[in-house]
Amino acid sequence: MMGNTMGFDELQKKLKGMADGAKELEGEQQISIPDLLTEDFVSEHTKFRDAQQIFDESGFEINNAEDFKAIPDADWDKYIAQISEFESWSEMLKAATAEYVKRKMGL
């Protein structure tokens, strides 16, 4: 009987963690690129070790957000398709966001 109680306690703790994670995700979120494109995500889905290396190796001069915004979407998508398993930047960000949500929810 004691084993079942421990199982319930663990489940309750897990559910509380998920609820806390869900609260953090309420409303619109601004998530930084390093939080979204973690080293684990980048190394698993690209040939690079981290997000900074993706930008550094792109061949585009990216020193700030304006530089990044100036890159034509089609050119950036082509680069992402070459260096990753994704067909576009949008597809990569969707996958990274899904993993971010799982981490926040404790899944």
Flag whether 7 is in a domain. Answer: no
Flag whether 3 is in a domain. Answer: no
Q: Which residues of 14-41 are buried (b: 16+ CB within 10 A; e: fewer)?
A: eeeeeeebeeeeeeeeeeeeeebbbeeb
Number of domains in the chain: 1
Residue 29: pLDDT over 70: no
Flag whether 19 is in a domain. Answer: no
Domain range for 35: 31-105
Rounded mean pLDDT, 16-28: 57
Flag whether 54 is in a domain. Answer: yes
pLDDT at 67: 92
Rounded mean pLDDT, 21-31: 59
Flag whether 16 is in a domain. Answer: no
- Tokens for 1, please give them: 């009987």
pLDDT digits (tens, 9 = 90+) for 67-77: 999 999 999 99
Flag whether 13 is in a domain. Answer: no
pLDDT digits (tens, 9 = 90+) for 50-103: 999 999 999 999 998 899 999 999 999 999 999 999 999 999 999 998 898 888
**pTM metric for this prediction:** 0.70
Flag whether 63 is in a domain. Answer: yes
pLDDT at 16: 63
pLDDT at 26: 57
The torsion angles phi and psi of 60, rounded to 5 degrees, stand at: -95, 145
